[in-house]
């Protein structure tokens, strides 16, 4: 007979089995989920999490590339990067107990395992620090207490103890740290741009910013060449940001930038800058600093190549005063009489005249359209050489008129006016020259005299260099070569000939006309002993723009740009030089290109020609000494420009036909 409670036992066993099955199923699901999750972490998403872990653990420290050096044409360094070093203290490693135990074991000559028994934990933690203090303090010329205060004072774990150390200071410290194996003391490298020739060539070189990137000048225009490729070093940090020492840290070495060689001749550059800043001469001989000029520029160029040998401005380059604008290429002005070389050279090249051809100059007064032209030296007729020598406004217009609008415009543009020269300098201006179809009836006389057009000093210097270089126009340039840091040639920049503007014969005749300017005309104060000079003076009123749309502005006869552009020796030119001075503050009777700019030209060239290797002709003496008469040959501003004959009460002439750029 079955026992009464048997069904109860069966029911309990069934419940237990069911619960065990559920529990086992649960465990299977849980562990299956965990296994699946582990599979995803270890296999499917392995790369992503490994990269994430590396990102948190590994860090890159930049290793700056050395920026390429800049040299003058003779290889003298004018800009370079210098490596500086910083002494970095890692307080975490200085207080590392593991390093402390090893330090005490070595100093006491005991087994490493005895250190925790014989010394307190605090003593162990500070052992490496005390050793570093004893070794570094004498090398840094400080007491251990002074050094301790510097290290323990800041709360940061990493301290820059010394920065911008040159090699002379860095090497002894580096040798000490390596020899004594001082843990927690590291060095970090930084690059700084240096200019070994201070206060020289600033407007050409430009400068770099805090990131060692070029901002102006050659530093900016050639930045992609000069700047190298930075490298990096990978370091490992723990979760508190502390650096972990490892021998397996990888990285990439920096690639230094290429070097740039300039066309600049540093000796000529020094001459130009000294003469612009010179004050040790009498005031009648145009010392630029004492004339209160707003700005001035001097350029020396080699004819036949377009190489710029020297370029400087006044006021001198000064980064702190924000005097960084390169007026010689960035600023424009109306040139006045120096622009007459376009009409003279163009007419000679077209075969319309020769230097001896007589031109009707109408007794010194001629009205064209609404413009009344007047000559400072009235004459019924002048030879073409006389037009240049006496800076005849009427004669220049008559030559331009013979060429006609399109041919005259063609010569002006062929000389490079109205477009950028393409020089490797920043902020260059193209100037302003209207297209012929927009000219008015007054445009031809205005342009022939150097008004109704704006140019840069570099454009004018290039045009004069074209005449001096037998009519071949070459692109002005300041970069001659690019080399690797170890001196291998990457690129040699040959002179770029743009066009034959005028024939060689026409250029020679034009040079003869410009020589007449110095022999018999306005440029006598530019002539110098041993070197016959040819060139052209320029004196132009400054245009004051109108304040309203109806007011087209006026010329202020109290403000002038004065200039002299020339070369020497005139038959076989070696150097071309341009001097332009903006609004000198002096007696108006002496405010001309002949009395302000020409003497500066003479002082520059009498030093520059011998420095360039041009031997003087001892038998040649200047035709007329400007030292005897500073006002000799002075020419008035290029013409009276007015729609009606000027009257004594008229304060300043206007240009009715002028279009404001």
The arithmetic mean of pLDDT across residues 485-514, rounded, is 95
Q: 3-state class of 421 per DSSP? A: coil
The arithmetic mean of pLDDT across residues 415-434, rounded, is 96
Distances (CA, A) of 582 to 226, 492, 590: 34, 37, 14
Q: What is the CA radius of gyration of the chain?
A: 39
Contact 490, 482 (CB under 8 A): yes
User: How would residue 634 be classed by pLDDT, with cut points 50, 70 and 90?
Assistant: low
pLDDT at 621: 85
User: How would residue 240 be classed by pLDDT, with cut points 50, 70 and 90?
Assistant: very low
Average pLDDT, the chain: 86
339 compared with 651, residue with greater pLDDT: 339
Can you tell me the distance from the alpha carbon of 385 to that of 341, in angstroms, rounded to the nearest whole number?
11
Distances (CA, A) of 563 to 185, 421, 560, 597, 657: 62, 20, 10, 5, 25
Q: 3-state class of 81 per DSSP? A: strand
* 53-57, 88-92, 374-378, 394-398: least confidently modelled range: 53-57
The arithmetic mean of pLDDT across residues 480-505, rounded, is 95
Backbone phi and psi for residue 153, each to the nearest 5 degrees, phi listed first: -65, -60
State yes or no: pLDDT of 56 exceeds 60.
no
pLDDT at 246: 57
Give the number of other Cβ atoms within 10 Å of residue 72's Cβ. 23
The arithmetic mean of pLDDT across residues 321-347, rounded, is 96
The arithmetic mean of pLDDT across residues 266-271, rounded, is 97
The arithmetic mean of pLDDT across residues 32-58, rounded, is 69
The arithmetic mean of pLDDT across residues 644-660, rounded, is 33
State yes or no: pLDDT of 651 exceeds 80.
no
Which of 91-105, 168-182, 284-298, 337-351 shows the highest mean pLDDT?
337-351
pLDDT at 60: 67
Residue 661's closest CA among 457, 454, 455, 459? 454
The arithmetic mean of pLDDT across residues 185-212, rounded, is 89
pLDDT at 6: 55
State yes or no: pLDDT of 589 exceeds 70.
no
Contact 405, 352 (CB under 8 A): no
The arithmetic mean of pLDDT across residues 336-340, rounded, is 96
Backbone phi and psi for residue 581, each to the nearest 5 degrees, phi listed first: -125, 130
Residue 521's closest CA among 502, 538, 509, 507? 538
Structure tokens at 424: 């490797």
State yes or no: pLDDT of 626 exceeds 50.
no
Residue 455's closest CA among 628, 348, 292, 335? 335
The arithmetic mean of pLDDT across residues 463-468, rounded, is 98
pLDDT at 7: 58
Strands 77-90 and 158-165 come out as antiparallel
Residue 538's closest CA among 577, 456, 585, 596? 596
Which of 86-95, 271-280, 547-556 shows the highest mean pLDDT?
271-280
pLDDT at 53: 61
pLDDT at 631: 42
pLDDT in tens, 576-586: 999 999 988 87
Structure tokens at 527: 């002539």
pLDDT at 653: 37
> Of all residues in the chain, what percent carry a pLDDT higher than 90?
52
The arithmetic mean of pLDDT across residues 113-127, rounded, is 84
pLDDT at 121: 84
User: How would residue 5 be classed by pLDDT, with cut points 50, 70 and 90?
Assistant: low
pLDDT at 194: 92
Residues forming a β-bridge with 301? 308, 576
pLDDT at 495: 94
pLDDT in tens, 350-406: 999 999 999 999 999 999 999 999 998 899 999 999 999 999 999 999 999 999 999
Residue that is written with structure tokens 């940061």 in the block: 156
pLDDT at 463: 98
Distances (CA, A) of 69 to 80, 231, 488: 4, 19, 13
pLDDT at 649: 30
pLDDT at 316: 93
pLDDT at 646: 33
């Amino acid at each position: 007979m079955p026992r009464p409670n048997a069904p109860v036992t069966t029911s309990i066993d069934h419940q237990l089995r069911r619960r065990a099955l559920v529990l086992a199923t649960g465990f299977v699901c849980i562990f299956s989920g965990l296994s699946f999750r582990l599979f995803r972490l270890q296999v499917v998403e392995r790369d992503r999490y490994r990269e994430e872990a590396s990102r948190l653990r590994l860090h890159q420290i930049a290793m700056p590339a050395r920026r390429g050096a800049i040299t003058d044409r003779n290889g003298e360094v004018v800009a370079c990067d210098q490596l500086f070093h910083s002494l970095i203290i890692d307080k975490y490693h200085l207080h590392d107990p593991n390093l402390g135990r090893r330090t005490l074991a070595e100093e006491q000559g005991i087994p490493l395992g005895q250190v925790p028994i014989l010394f307190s934990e605090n003593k162990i933690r500070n052992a490496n620090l005390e050793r570093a203090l004893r070794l570094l303090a004498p090398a840094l010329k400080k007491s251990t207490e002074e050094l301790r205060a510097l290290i323990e004072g800041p709360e940061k774990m990493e301290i820059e103890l010394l920065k911008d150390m040159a090699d002379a200071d860095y090497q002894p410290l580096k040798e000490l740290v390596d020899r004594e194996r001082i843990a927690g003391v590291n060095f970090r490298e930084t690059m700084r741009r240096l200019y070994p020739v201070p206060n020289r060539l600033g407007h050409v070189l430009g400068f770099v910013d805090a990131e060692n990137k070029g901002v102006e000048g050659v530093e900016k225009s050639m930045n992609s060449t000069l700047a190298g490729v930075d490298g990096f070093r990978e370091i490992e940090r723990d979760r508190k940001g502390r650096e972990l020492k490892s021998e397996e840290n990888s990285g990439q070495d920096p690639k230094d930038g290429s070097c740039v060689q300039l066309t600049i001749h540093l000796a000529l550059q020094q001459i130009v800058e000294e003469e612009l800043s010179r004050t040790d001469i009498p005031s009648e001989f145009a010392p630029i600093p004492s004339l209160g000029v707003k700005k001035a520029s001097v350029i020396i160029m080699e004819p036949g190549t377009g190489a710029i040998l020297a370029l400087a401005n006044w006021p001198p380059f000064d980064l702190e005063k924000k005097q960084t604008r390169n007026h010689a290429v960035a600023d424009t002005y109306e040139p006045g009489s120096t622009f007459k070389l376009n009409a003279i050279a163009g007419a000679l090249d077209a075969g319309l005249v020769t230097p001896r051809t007589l031109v009707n100059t109408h007794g010194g007064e001629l009205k064209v359209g609404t413009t009344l032209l007047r000559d400072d030296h009235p004459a019924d007729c002048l030879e073409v050489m006389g037009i240049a020598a006496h800076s005849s406004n009427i004669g220049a217009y008559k030559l331009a008129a013979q060429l006609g609008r399109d041919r005259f415009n063609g010569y002006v543009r062929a000389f490079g006016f109205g477009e950028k020269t393409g020089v490797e300098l920043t902020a260059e201006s193209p100037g302003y020259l209207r297209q012929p179809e927009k000219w008015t009836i007054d445009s031809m006389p205005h342009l022939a005299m150097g008004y109704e057009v704006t140019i840069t000093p570099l454009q004018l210097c290039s045009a004069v260099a074209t005449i001096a270089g037998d009519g071949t126009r070459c692109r002005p340039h300041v970069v001659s070569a690019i080399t690797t840091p170890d001196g291998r040639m990457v690129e040699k920049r040959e002179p770029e000939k743009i066009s034959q503007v005028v024939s060689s014969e026409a250029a020679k005749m034009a040079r003869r006309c410009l020589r007449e300017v110095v022999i018999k005309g306005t440029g006598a104060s530019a002539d110098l002993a041993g070197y016959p000079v040819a060139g052209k003076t320029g004196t132009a009123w400054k245009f004051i723009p109108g304040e309203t749309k109806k007011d087209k502005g006026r010329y202020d006869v109290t403000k002038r740009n004065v200039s002299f552009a020339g070369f020497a020796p005139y038959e076989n030119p070696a150097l071309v030089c341009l001097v332009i001075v903006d609004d000198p503050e002096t007696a108006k009777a002496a405010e001309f290109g002949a009395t302000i700019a020409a003497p500066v030209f003479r002082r520059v060239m009498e030093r520059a020609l011998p420095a360039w290797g041009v031997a003087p002709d001892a038998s040649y003496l200047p035709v007329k000494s400007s030292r005897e008469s500073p006002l000799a040959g002075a020419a008035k501003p290029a013409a009276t420009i007015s729609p009606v004959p000027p009257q004594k009460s008229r304060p300043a002439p206007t240009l009715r036909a002028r279009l404001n750029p």
